Amino acid sequence: MDAFKQNEMSHTLAVYNFKGGVGKTSTTLSLAHSWARSFKVLVIDCDPQANLTQALTSQEHSTNLFTITKKFLHNEQPSIQPVEIHPYLYLIPGDYRMAEIESNTQFISFGHIIFYKLLSAIRHNYDFIILDFPTHFGVTVKSFIANINSILIPATAGSFSISGFKKLLSYLSDVDKDKPLEILGIFFNQYRKNTLYHQKVVREAEQELGSLILDQRIRESIRVSEANGRNESVYAFTDQSAVAEDFLKLSEEVISRLNRINLNEAISSVAEQEAKG
Ligand SMILES: Nc1ncnc2c1ncn2[C@@H]1O[C@H](COP(=O)(O)OP(=O)(O)O)[C@@H](O)[C@H]1O
Ligand SMILES: [Mg+2]
């Protein structure tokens, strides 16, 4: 992690796949807890379902992503005070009303400017800002993508397809951005190493997509749901479970991949593979 520290800049990444139930929220939580051992981390719950918020805090908070967005929409300066989970980990809670605001015409036109203002106001306070995205590729997701550095893509062997991944890249490339989005890569979650079908899917994905696939996989483990349900991290179990070890290694691998592959490079590498047949 020292290589990152030397950079001394904050990095904003989203955990995203337009498929539901692939582990976006569980990954956000685990990365956040793991990086918060060495860095100052903020997580933003962008999903109206607010699963991340429920996993981190059982209290109601008057300031959340919706109340902040609404103030910006009314040209007021919101006070942005993330909830302190512990001295290295902070949260901007989610709110179900983020679903309604998606049809607000001002938000549709200016969402990217609002989130630019939001991130500019707080970025300097954190080493990492991690966004837990909803599944829906709507205004919230697009407006944040316009302003972040990178995305990390969780996938499950059961639902992964190269064509789905290509579609995701093409959606992402429709978002106007000053600097190309970095693709940190895809990793397989809920992986069962003894299931032949899982082995086959991952082997084929690695052949087709090469360096876009992270080495670390996250095994399937009941500990993930247990931790979420208990408002704890997977690292909190005293027996240091194997899945916690997987997530810890993933968090290190992600850092080692910062500033490496951008979206245009990812799209051409997929096209090259296809041409090779
Ligand atoms: N590695 C894993 N092993 C077992 N269950 C998992 C794992 N990762 C996620 N889950 C469970 O799968 C469900 C969906 O995960 P979640 O992180 O909420 O996905 P998403 O945010 O993409 O919808 C949750 O019930 C979660 O506890
Ligand atoms: Mg989620």
Q: Name the residue at shortest CA distance from atom 15 of ligand 1.
A: 23
The pLDDT value given to residue 236: 79
Atom in ligand 1 nearest the alpha carbon of residue 22 = 22
Q: Name the residue at shortest CA distance from atom 14 of ligand 1.
A: 21
Dist CA 248 CA 132 (whole Å): 18
Q: pLDDT in tens for each of the 277 residues of the chain?
A: 554 554 457 999 999 999 999 999 999 999 999 999 999 999 999 999 999 999 999 999 999 999 999 999 999 999 999 999 999 999 999 999 999 999 999 999 999 999 999 999 999 999 999 999 999 999 999 999 999 999 999 999 999 999 999 999 999 999 999 899 999 999 999 999 999 999 999 999 999 999 999 999 999 999 998 888 787 888 877 667 899 999 999 999 999 999 889 999 999 988 888 888 7
Q: Name the residue at shortest CA distance from atom 9 of ligand 1.
A: 23
Nearest by Cα to 191 from 159, 227, 149, 234: 159
**How far away, in angstroms, is 29 Cα from ligand 2 center?**
10
Which two tokens mark 219?
A: 């095994």
pLDDT tens figures, 206-231:
999 999 999 999 999 999 988 887 87
Residues with C-beta less than 6 Å from any ligand 1 atom: 20-26, 51, 189-190, 218, 220-221, 224-225, 228, 243
Q: What is the DSSP letter of 82?
A: P
Counting the structural domains of the chain, the total is 1
The pLDDT value given to residue 7: 47
pLDDT tens figures, 169-184:
999 999 999 899 999 9
Dist CA 72 CA 141 (whole Å): 17
Atom in ligand 1 nearest the alpha carbon of residue 154 = 22
The pLDDT value given to residue 81: 95
The pLDDT value given to residue 8: 52
Range of the domain at 271: 2-276
Dist CA 168 CA 31 (whole Å): 22
Q: Name the residue at shortest CA distance from atom 16 of ligand 1.
A: 23
Question: Strand 89-92 vs strand 41-45: parallel, antiparallel, or unpaired?
Answer: parallel
Could you list which residues have their CB under 5 Å from ion ligand 2? Answer: 24-25, 51
The pLDDT value given to residue 6: 47
CATH number of the domain enclosing 31: 3.40.50.300
Nearest by Cα to 52 from 35, 28, 23, 68: 28
Which two tokens mark 123?
A: 């970025």
**How far away, in angstroms, is 17 Cα from ligand 2 center?**
10
Nearest by Cα to 47 from 136, 147, 177: 136
- Provide CB contacts within 8 A for 51, sequence distance 6+: 25, 45, 94, 132, 228
Question: Strand 128-132 vs strand 11-15: parallel, antiparallel, or unpaired?
Answer: parallel
The pLDDT value given to residue 116: 97
Please write down the long-range contacts of 96-100, taking CB distance under 8 Å and 24 or more positions apart: 96/48, 96/49, 96/50, 97/48, 97/66, 98/46, 98/47, 98/48, 98/65, 98/66, 98/69, 98/134, 98/140, 99/48
**How far away, in angstroms, is 22 Cα from ligand 2 center?**
8
Q: Name the residue at shortest CA distance from atom 8 of ligand 1.
A: 23
Sheet with 128-132, strands from edge to edge, namely: 83-86, 89-92, 41-45, 128-132, 11-15, 150-156, 182-189
Dist CA 93 CA 19 (whole Å): 22
Atom in ligand 1 nearest the alpha carbon of residue 47 = 21
Buried/exposed code over 119-151 (b: 16+ C-beta within 10 A; e: otherwise): beebeeebbbbbbbbbbebbbbbbbbbbbbbbb
Nearest by Cα to 31 from 268, 224, 255, 251: 251
